Structure 1
Amino acid sequence: MAFYCPDGEMEQALAAAIRSLEQDGRPGLSEQLSVTWICYGQSLRNGSAEEGKGTHWRGEEARYPASVVKLLYLLAAEAWLQRELIEDSPELRRALADMIRDSSNDATGFVVDLLTGTCSGPELPAGPLEQWSQQRQLINRWFDELGWPEWPGNNACQKTWGDGPYGRERQSYGPQLENRNRLSSNLTARVLQAVMAQELLSPAACGRMQELLARSLDQGERAADPENQVDGFLGGGLPEGARLWSKAGWMSQARHDAAYIEVEGKASALVVVLSEGPERAQDERLLPELCRRLLEL
């Protein structure tokens, strides 16, 4: 069962927006893009159980998520804490904050090791590598146990990198990178909705996650932080006075964003965009423009 109610008018509007953006000098965009778009009658932050209405474009297609996968690691960390599988500590809180607010890859590596009981290092022989790989699947197994129909085909078991994996981490990817992280926009939207609507974990845990995901739209603060995860992403298309909670992902072959948005006078919205290819990675106008068009509808 879908986690939102499909809406035909939104489906047509999203398709029209993508076609228009494709015709505006972006050949092949419709193949390079996955979008999930949901609107709600009230703020999710109140723990609302109201089902949203929405649609998607290629929302079931899993793509390399870049740093958007850190949203899943944040949710898993709070779940592990709630189940007392790991101990809370100032160092864990520092790592979670750096992972989400600054998108630190070093912090992400620390979190993944803590959640799975693994660590990076030299290559391993077959037996120990298999044992290590099974441990690294703990986050995947937890998401699988949730029973979400959006989960099959997704993968969240790798660290994020600046230069790339080495040693046993590279072994884990497989010869053809077949074990690389991959997420669909539908699954990513389901995760962000769970965080914002307090669906899985305690209100306190969800409040902590929401605090980390909150983005400032102040122009001065954005100018002082070139990697603010707003400019060039969905938040760049928001009007003054809007509120934003998001996690972006960007690398040489991708530009992504997962955002929950509240704008006065409009329905609150959750939008996830995954765009692939070197042209899309460098396209700083695409996500803000798509956000503006969806808000106008």
Structure 2
Amino acid sequence: MAFYRPDLGMASYLESVLDDLDAEGRPGLRNSLGLTWVRYTEAAPQAGNGFGASWNHLRSLYPASVVKLFYAVAAERWLQHDLIPDSDELQRALREMISNSSNDATSFVLDLLTGTTSGPVLQGKRWQSWQRQRRLVNDWLTTLMWPELEHVNCCQKTWGDGPYGREKVFYGINNANRNLLTTAAVARMLEAIMTGAVVSPPACRRLQDFLLRSLDPELSRADPENQVDGFLGEGLPEDVKLWSKAGWMSQVRHDAAWWQAPGQPPMMIVAFSSGPDRARDEQLLPKLARALCKYDALTIFG
């Protein structure tokens, strides 16, 4: 059962949008896309009160930097239970990990969460212990008992060039142990953050601050890695407030976005697009957001 109420009108409209995007010269788009789209009727909704539609929302895909959203929530959970010490350095790392998608900051945060470090290959009991520790975030996600989290894997660092040493071995043969997420899992976590339904409301507000993006074109031009251009945020009206976390590398282009126009209920889209063609496609996600934003103007929400 989805965490939102399925809406047949939204599902039909989503099908037509995907048809149009495919017809623009994206053959096989449906096979390379996972998507969860949720709309709300209240300006300050509670978790689980949305209406939605999806496509391949339970397909496990490599999430790239979107996984950092889960590590940030885990850090707040660890802090809440005094499992790690708070510090200016941790707060700096969390902000850099989410706001600027820093891989170095992510490495620091995951080491702190799991008590592990990168380095040469380990053997025997030390290696077994290291692997158990590195899976602590997965262990915590299991305790949430969200069905959307059933087939996810959040245990790897994010890399610029790639893993070495024990990190490379931990990826497994053919990268079988790489991070995996679904758009349903990401959407539920993002909704929980934005509605104060995971960890504590103050912790959720801190995470929201990290996720807030500017849609000012001048600021975007000053920051080539702004997580707006080429992603969902580019397709949104400039008067909305946007909270998002993007992920991009040579094989994927993803985004998880929650936005709200003044005086209006919010909307959320989590879109994963995979394959080298999709990774290079800087117009797909903006066009997707632009089209789904038009739904309210085309129908009366019941």
TM-score (norm. length: structure 1):
0.97
User: Whole-Å Cα distance in 2 between the matches of residues 267 and 23 of structure 1?
Assistant: 31
User: Whole-Å Cα distance in 2 between the matches of residues 126 and 271 of structure 1?
Assistant: 44
User: Whole-Å Cα distance in 2 between the matches of residues 256 and 128 of structure 1?
Assistant: 36
Summarize deviations over 1:138-169 as a string: whole Å, max 9, x none. Answer: 00010011100011111000000000000000
Summarize deviations over 1:72-122 as a string: whole Å, max 9, x none. Answer: 001100111111111110000000011011100000000000000100000
User: Whole-Å Cα distance in 2 between the matches of residues 160 and 81 of structure 1?
Assistant: 22
The residue aligned with 1:35 is 35
The residue aligned with 1:79 is 77
Match of 2:240 among 228, 237, 242: 242
| 3-state SS of paired residue (1:176) | helix
- How do 1:89-128 residues align onto structure 2 when only pairs under 5 Å count? 89-128=87-126
- How do 1:166-245 residues align onto structure 2 when only pairs under 5 Å count? 166-245=164-243
Contact 1:230 1:236 in 2 (8 A): yes
Summarize deviations over 1:149-203 as a string: whole Å, max 9, x none. Answer: 0111110000000000000001110012110001000000011001000002222
The residue aligned with 1:133 is 131
**Structure 2 regions of 5+ residues with no counterpart?**
296-302
The residue aligned with 1:279 is 277
| 3-state SS of paired residue (2:97) | helix
The residue aligned with 1:70 is 68
Stretch deviating more after TM superposition (251-260 or 7-16) = 7-16
User: Whole-Å Cα distance in 2 between the matches of residues 267 and 17 of structure 1?
Assistant: 22
User: Whole-Å Cα distance in 2 between the matches of residues 147 and 240 of structure 1?
Assistant: 37
* 1:126 shift after superposition: 3.8
The residue aligned with 2:259 is 261
The residue aligned with 2:4 is 4
Stretch deviating more after TM superposition (258-267 or 183-192) = 258-267
User: Whole-Å Cα distance in 1 between the matches of residues 183 and 146 of structure 2?
Assistant: 14
Ranges of 4+ aligned residues in structure 1 off by more than 3 Å: 264-267
User: Whole-Å Cα distance in 2 between the matches of residues 267 and 198 of structure 1?
Assistant: 16
* 1:49 shift after superposition: 4.6
The residue aligned with 1:15 is 15
User: Whole-Å Cα distance in 1 between the matches of residues 70 and 48 of structure 2?
Assistant: 23
Contact 1:41 1:50 in 2 (8 A): no
**Structure 1 regions of 5+ residues with no counterpart?**
none
| 3-state SS of paired residue (1:260) | strand
* 1:127 shift after superposition: 3.0
Q: How many residues align?
A: 295
Which amino acid in structure 2 is aligned with residue 206 of structure 1?
C
Contact 1:234 1:291 in 2 (8 A): yes
RMSD: 1.1
Which amino acid in structure 1 is aligned with residue 133 of structure 2?
Q
TM-score (norm. length: structure 2):
0.95
* 1:266 shift after superposition: 5.0
Percent of matched pairs sharing the same residue: 54
